Amino acid sequence: MTADISTPTVESIGAWLTERVAEYVDAPKESIASDVPFGEYGLDSVAAFTVCTDIEDHLGLVLEPTVLWDHPTIDALSAFLVGELNTAR
């Protein structure tokens, strides 16, 4: 079951990102807190590039590969992505 991102809100994007990060670091999604930096879950700076690619593909955005470096939590990244999506529309 994939989170619904048809209406991009900080909550829906956040839920979708939580699933991606959980899948990527192989941990239950309940264990991923939205205000804890990605690095603390074992998602290192280089692995962040792969997640960025995933986000680009799923949201149809073109992002700087360093987007997870500059927005290093689910909350920060969701807020940023919602802004990008609204600009892109």
Partner 1 sequence: MTAGAPARLAAHTVAAVLSGRSGPGGPFDPAELARLDEAEEFPAAACAELDAAGLPDWYVPARFGGALAELPDVMAVMRATARRDLTVAIAHGKTFLGSVSVWVAGSADQAAALASAVRSGGIVSWGLTERDHGSDLMAGAVTATRHGDGWVLDGAKWLINNATRADLMCVLARTEPGGGPRGFSVFLADLRDPRPGTVRRTPKLRTHGIRGADISGVEFTGAAAVLVGDEGAGIEITLKALQLTRTTCTVLSLGAGDHAVAIAAEFLRERVLGRRRLSDVPRMRRVLGEAATGVLLAEAAAVVAARSAHTLPDELSVTSALVKAFVPTAVEQSIEQLAELMGTRGFLTADYRHGEFAKLERDHRIVGLFDGSTLVNRASLITQFPRLARRNALDVTTTVCLAEPLPTLDTARLVLVSRTGNAIVSGLSSALAELPAEFADLADALLRESGAVHAELARHRPVARAVPTAAFRLAERYELLFAAAAAVHVWVANPASRWERGCWLRACLTLALTRLGVPVDGADDAYEDVAAAVLAHGAVSLLDGGRA
Chain residues in the site for partner 1 (CB under 8 A): 24-26, 37, 39, 41-50, 52-54, 56-57, 62, 64-66, 69-70, 72
Closer of 16 and 24 to partner 1 (Cβ): 24
Give just the sign of the alpha carbon dihedral 62, 68, 74, 76. negative
Neighbour tally for 5: CB within 10 Å: 16
Cα–Cα distance measured from residue 51 to residue 43, given in angstroms and rounded to the nearest whole number: 9
Closer of 6 and 46 to partner 1 (Cβ): 46
Instruction: Read off the amino acid at residue 29.
Output: K
Closer of 4 and 40 to partner 1 (Cβ): 40
